[in-house]
Amino acid sequence: MPLQQHLLKESFAYLEPVADKAMAYLYGRLFAAKPQLRGMFPPAMDVQRARMFQALARIVRSADSAEDLAAYLAGLGRGHRLYGVLSEHYAAMNEALLATLRRFAAETWSPEVEAAWAEALEWVAKRMTEASNAGPGDPPPWWLAEVIGHERRARDIAVLTLRPERPLAFRPGQYVNVQSARWPRVWRAYSIANAPRPDNTIRLHVRAVPGGWVSTALVAHTRVGDTITLGPPMGAMGPPEGDRAVLAVAGGTGLAPLKAIIEHLADSGRAPDILLLHGARTAAELYDLADLAKLASRCRRLRVVPVAEEPGYAGARGRLPDVVARLGRIADHEAFVCGPARMVDLTVQRLRQAGVPPSRIHRDVVVPA
């Protein structure tokens, strides 16, 4: 593999303290050289700049692991099908990237460093192009879906039921990228909150976040009968194999993928013992208790424990990681964790301390838009 990590890492370190400035320069160079590409990007570029820097950092960190990096790049390449990215667009981006690195890493720049980056970026573009070229058995780049249900479960939380125009094959635990007609070219990822159904419908749990263009549009401005666009299902989390007891820990709308996995186990007829902890700051944010009660009535081996942080809450109270720490014997469980990044990190620590091996801890992170 052509990626020389030590050269990439040393030069990339000069970009980290000025990440936003460097990424603004990058896109300025790109759009000056190829003005026609501006229409492929969202009107506001702050999230795009942050995501670009995160992707570059991931590439540099993973440069010595060909298999992991290739899998990551394949996912990015498939995701780029949503935007109509072509192979010549990668060449234009690579030219802008080299110009940016040359400017901001000038103190360490040399012909050797430039050659290392040029070779690495060419390798990266090739992997992403291969993934974005659809074969005869590949899914389409997007689906149109009709909103057939919109339930406002809390002030800032809605549950949407969607009917895609054609079958959408997915594995419980996966997510889809979503675009609202209100904000073209702006995509956000949401986990599918149900197992596959005969009628092909899917559910999304959406929390509106401050400044969240897509989340606010989906919660506050979307109505039954509207059409939204979905990307292909993605994500590695899925149902467990075997019959170990399952511990599912969900923070907020991180409930969605875990509920899909539990639904799948319940419908399979081979559900193990399942303990689901669903936590929120307040009791009002425990938005899905009625549906969870119905799911528990279908699956007698499922126990649902709502958790809230607010004082005076009558049920289990406290932060989810602390509640997990009080559970007792869980070392033999298969554990699934999803929710805000900090909660997920702390919960994984508690699970490790309780003796759950890393191979049996499955995590997903809900990244605020």
Checking if the pLDDT of 327 tops 50, the result is yes
Residues 154 and 87 in one domain: no
Q: Token pair for residue 355? A: 């003796």
Number of domains into which the chain is organized: 3
Q: What is the 3-state secondary structure (H, E, C) of 301-349?
A: CEEEEEEECCCCCCCEECCHHHHHHCCCCCCCCEEEEEEEHHHHHHHHH
Q: What is the DSSP letter of 42?
A: -
pLDDT of residue 320: 96
Q: What are phi and psi of 219, to 5 degrees?
A: -80, -45
Checking if the pLDDT of 366 tops 50, the result is no
CATH of residue 82: 1.10.490.10
Rounded to an integer, the average pLDDT of 154-167 is 96
Which string of DSSP letters, residue by residue, matches 120-175? HHHHHHHHHHHHHS--TTSPPS-EEEEEEEEEEEETTEEEEEEEESS-----TT-E
Residues 177 and 223 in one domain: yes
Rounded to an integer, the average pLDDT of 260-285 is 94
pLDDT tens, 42-81? Answer: 777 877 888 889 888 888 888 777 777 877 887 777 777 7
202, 212, 142: which is closest to 174 by C-alpha?
202
pLDDT tens, 342-357? Answer: 999 999 999 999 999 9
| Distance set, CA 125 to CA 28, 29, 56 (Å) | 20, 18, 12
Distance, CA of 226 to CA of 344 (rounded, Å): 34
Please check whether residue 38 lies inside any domain of the structure. Answer: yes
CATH of residue 220: 2.40.30.10
Distance, CA of 66 to CA of 3 (rounded, Å): 9
Last residue of a domain, one of 66, 99, 132: 132
Residues 353 and 256 in one domain: yes
Domain residue limits at 66:
5-132
Distance, CA of 336 to CA of 351 (rounded, Å): 10
Query: Does this model's pTM top 0.85?
Result: no
pLDDT of residue 135: 60
160 by Cβ neighbours in 10 Å (0-12 / 13-18 / 19+) ranks as: buried
Please check whether residue 123 lies inside any domain of the structure. Answer: yes
Please check whether residue 236 lies inside any domain of the structure. Answer: no
pLDDT tens, 104-159? Answer: 998 899 999 999 999 989 988 888 888 777 665 666 778 999 999 999 999 999 99
